[in-house]
Amino acid sequence: MRSWLAEDISVVVINAEQVLERRDLAGTFEYQLTSADLLVLNKVDLVPADALPAIEARLREIEPEAPLVRSVHGEVDGSLLFPPDSVELRRQRRRRGAVAHGHESFTSEIVAVEAGVDETVLVARFRALGALRAKGFVRTAIGIRLLQAVGGRVQLHAVAAPPDAALLGSVVVVRRAR
């Protein structure tokens, strides 16, 4: 989930897969949702269409009032981000129920990946880590790949140009502190 401010409007982008998997829906996630002026349910193309009503219902349990829009690749109509009189609308929402913010602690580490690793083995390895996120460049048996992981979804992407040699074989892994 990402949060940003657009013309004094708090926008929260929510990963639909994360909600479907019921992964990390407490703490920071709840704080961000309850303080948002607009919820963007992103990656709706990556979940079954019949799961969307349940995902949205879960979000409504946490934040019943903020407008909610669906998106793919974070594409949102710009008029939603910059509505007229946004400052006054935000003030009204804050008066109805201000929420104090707190954040969990997170840790990060670098995981070394040996050159020539089989892609299937690599994906299984990173799924088993149980990390929140992972990202880095690796040299697999079939070439250099960008590894990106969010929860249980691990993807390998071909790269157009090789990265700096110092970056190759190192994957940054982010976990919730225990």
Q: What is the pLDDT of residue 168?
A: 92
CA distance 77 to 75: 7
DSSP state at residue 168:
B
Which tens digit of pLDDT belongs to each residue from 23-76?
877 777 787 887 777 888 999 999 999 999 999 999 999 888 888 889 888 777
What φ, ψ does residue 15 adopt, rounded to 5°?
Answer: -80, 115
Domain positions in the chain: 2-96, 106-176
Contacts of 177 (CB under 8 A, 6+ apart): 104, 105, 106, 107
Tokens read off for 102: 């707190």
Buried b (16+ CB within 10 A) or exposed e, 66-77: bebebbeeeebe
Q: Is the pLDDT of residue 101 over 60?
A: no
- Report the percent of the chain where pLDDT is more than 70: 78
Predicted local distance difference test score (pLDDT) of residue 57: 93
This prediction's pTM:
0.52
